[in-house]
């Protein structure tokens, strides 16, 4: 989303982490003010800030409790869950 002068707006997003990613980040969830527009931008921002070693290519993403894609457009208030490789059973 851009405003009338073309500047990117800041959105507030909730981010959830699990398993090895949660341990690397050090929290299970957080609220961020960010200019990231997609999960891939958001993850790159966070990985860069906290020196995360989990590769983006290893992750899936869920937005508001549904599986989504890394290039989905995020809206203010969205809950974004980064999902490392699952291992139930």
22: left (phi over 0), alpha (psi -120 to 50) or beta: alpha
19 binds another protein (CB under 8 A): yes
Taking the least distance from each CB to another protein, the nearer of 72 and 83 is: 83
Least distance from C-beta 76 to another protein, angstroms? 21
Report the alpha-carbon distance of residue 83 to residue 22 in Å, rounded.
Answer: 10
Q: With binding defined as CB under 8 A, does residue 5 bind another protein?
A: no
Three-state secondary structure call for residue 15: strand
Cβ of residue 43: shortest distance to another protein, in angstroms?
12
Is residue 40 involved in binding another protein (CB under 8 A)?
Answer: no
Which region, judged by CB under 8 A, interacts with another protein, from 7-15, 34-42, 60-68, 69-77? 60-68
Measured in whole angstroms, how far is the alpha carbon of residue 11 from the centre of its chain? Answer: 12
């Amino acid at each position: 989303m851009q405003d009338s002068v073309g500047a990117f707006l800041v959105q507030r997003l909730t981010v959830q982490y699990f398993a090895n990613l949660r341990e690397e980040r050090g929290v299970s969830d957080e609220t961020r003010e960010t200019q990231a527009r997609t999960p891939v931008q958001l993850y790159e921002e966070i990985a860069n800030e906290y020196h995360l070693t989990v590769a983006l290519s290893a992750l899936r993403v869920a937005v508001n409790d549904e599986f989504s894609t890394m290039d989905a457009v995020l809206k203010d208030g969205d809950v974004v869950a980064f999902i490392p490789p699952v291992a139930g059973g």
